[in-house]
Structure 1
Amino acid sequence: MSLGLAVTLIACGGEPEAADPSSAPSAATVVTAIKGANGTSATAGGYEIGDVRLPAKAGEPGTVSFTITKDGEPVGDYIEEQTKDLHLYVVRDDLEVFRHLHPSQGDAGAWSGEVTLPAGGTYRVVVEFAAKTPDGKGEQAMLGASAAVAGPTEVEVPGSDDGTVVAALEETPKPGKDQEVGVLVSDPAGKPVNLGTYLGTYAHVTAFSRETGEVIHLHPLGGPENGPDGTRLGIHVKPPKAGDYVFFVQVRVDGMIHTLRLPVTV
């Protein structure tokens, strides 16, 4: 399966951060999305992700690494988005393993980070970034390439309840329609939780289409509201078409990042 990425650059992670940091580029920065750079291809607009490597074996700490070039030259100058220069997703093709990472740049255009993948299989490595152009503006690109990891493929698939935090959608999104859908986050008893921010947002929601591999990134419309069914966050969503999706909801509760997996039929 080929995983694509929607045009909006939204990403987040679990590392410590200051409360509610500013994450958007300055108002003077003009960033243009590269046509066709939707994560389904390793190349677009002259940009290329190459030398993609994942840990050789599942279940052991290892390194994910890759290079980013444009017209054959390393890309080393980026515009920060949500406190990071580049955001990385490592997703198994059956959507049963999901990792959201923020690697470090060594030499210009060469990136690496640590990851432990729980099971073998074919994974899609997707990067999203805004590269600074010589005129001081930016170009936003999303590139993806596949890599295999050896080892047993059986894995314990995460659910919408990890024993500490529970996530659910208030309603099923409608295909092809801009809409607000509530995400309810609670403790196992259905009580509100103490939501913190990470990378400048109260939650990050990533939806993957099973049929097409397209990825939709979403983020909250405003802050959390506590109610009788938990803590509600309104999110903007527009599924491109009807079908089966998997929503990954990532929230910080009492200082810890929780990732909840919600299969949804739109």
Structure 2
Amino acid sequence: MPGIPGMPGMAHAAGTSQGLARGLAAEQDGYRLDAATCSVPAGRPTAYRFTITGPDGTPVTDFAVHQTRKLHFYAIRTDLTGFQHLHPDLADDGTWTADLAALAPGTWRLYADFIPNTGPHAPELVLSRTVTVPGRATPTPLPAPTDSTTVDGYTVTLHAQPMAGAHQLTATVSQDGRPVTDLQPYLDAYAHLSAFHEGDQALAHLHPANTVNGDHGGPTLTFQALLPEPGNWRVFLQFQTAGQLHTAELTLHVD
């Protein structure tokens, strides 16, 4: 398919190094995301298999652990719906298997976020490619920007005046108007936050700054944010209480 990353040389087609750093290419620094298919069936769970090929041309089998996992895998449709955050299984031959929940028809971008286990200064890399899910695709308009949303009875509020570039982003969690203080660790933090840019689906993975101290997280969550460009970003904040994972979604406008 024209325009689908994932073949040798497509990293150059993505444009600048900034584009590579934002997770919009299948190849960076000699590492490449390879998959056997560019199409995924609609309406049913799918085992999506892929490899990360290293600079020597062979599948990588040694990955550093970051945020308790060797690889984080994301799926998002072009209209920024259908978010999935998975942790695939790695086979001895370097093949990863991501168990995707059913995808709606349309074009989806799939991201692999990892650190090669090559030493203490190895970079975090985000590679991606697109897949097509056949069928009639009905785009969902992006919800208007807001600073607060509710999920599973919890209210999540963002406190920021976001500008393009690096800054600090703070969120608070409440329930029925009361501060929540029993957040449990999830991926070695009290919350995990990912953001996708409207239009090109650039990924920003925001790192938590809070110190973990048992099941006593909240109500305030702090993130070191790097949102590289202005516009609307769809934000997905994941947190855990009583063993249940919650995903709060909202649109953030960045000047």
- In structure 2, the partner of 1:264 is 252
Contact map agreement 1:129 1:141 (CA 8 A) in 2: yes
Deviations 1:14-51 (A, max 9, x none): xxxxxxxxxxxxxxxxxxxxx94542111122211112
Structure 1 residue 168 corresponds to structure 2 residue 121: no
**Pick from 191, 194, 204: which aligns with 2:178?**
191
**Pick from 204, 208, 213: which aligns with 1:216?**
204
For structure 1, list consecutive stretches of 5 or more residues without a partner in the other structure. 4-34, 225-229
Contact map agreement 2:195 2:205 (CA 8 A) in 1: yes
Structure 1 residue 106 corresponds to structure 2 residue 94: no
User: Aligned partner of 2:76: which letter?
Assistant: V
Equivalents in 2 of 1:112, 1:241: separation in Å?
Answer: 32
Deviation, 1:210, is 0.8
Where in structure 2 are the equivalents of 1:48-63 lying within 5 Å? 48-53=32-37, 56-63=40-47
Report the 3-state secondary structure (helix = DSSP H, G, I; strand = E; otherwise coil) of the residue aligned with 2:236.
strand
- In structure 2, the partner of 1:42 is 26
Deviations 1:76-131 (A, max 9, x none): 11111112111111111111111100001113221102121341111111101111
- In structure 2, the partner of 1:147 is 131
Equivalents in 2 of 1:123, 1:218: separation in Å?
Answer: 21
Where in structure 2 are the equivalents of 1:236-251 lying within 5 Å? 236-251=224-239
Contact map agreement 2:80 2:201 (CA 8 A) in 1: no
Deviation, 1:222, is 2.1
Contact map agreement 2:113 2:125 (CA 8 A) in 1: yes
Choose 35-44 or 139-148, whichever is displaced more: 35-44
Normalising by structure 2, we get a TM-score of 0.77
- In structure 2, the partner of 1:27 is none
Report the 3-state secondary structure (helix = DSSP H, G, I; strand = E; otherwise coil) of the residue aligned with 2:115.
strand
Contact map agreement 2:103 2:133 (CA 8 A) in 1: no
Contact map agreement 2:76 2:82 (CA 8 A) in 1: yes
- In structure 1, the partner of 2:79 is 94
- In structure 2, the partner of 1:29 is none
User: Aligned partner of 2:252: which letter?
Assistant: V
Structure 1 residue 117 corresponds to structure 2 residue 102: yes
User: Aligned partner of 2:179: which letter?
Assistant: P
CA gap 1:155/1:63 in 2 versus in 1, 3 angstroms? farther
Report the 3-state secondary structure (helix = DSSP H, G, I; strand = E; otherwise coil) of the residue aligned with 1:81.
coil
Identity of aligned residues (%): 33
Structure 1 residue 131 corresponds to structure 2 residue 116: yes
User: Aligned partner of 1:190: which letter?
Assistant: G
Contact map agreement 1:54 1:64 (CA 8 A) in 2: no
User: Aligned partner of 2:41: which letter?
Assistant: K
CA gap 1:257/1:51 in 2 versus in 1, 3 angstroms? same
Equivalents in 2 of 1:263, 1:137: separation in Å?
Answer: 34
Equivalents in 1 of 2:151, 2:43: separation in Å?
Answer: 20
Measured on the aligned residues, the alpha-carbon RMSD in Å equals: 3.0
Deviation, 1:256, is 0.7
Deviation, 1:64, is 1.6
Deviation, 1:53, is 4.3
Normalising by structure 1, we get a TM-score of 0.74
Structure with larger RCO (C-alpha < 8 A, sep 6+):
1
Where in structure 2 are the equivalents of 1:77-92 lying within 5 Å? 77-92=62-77
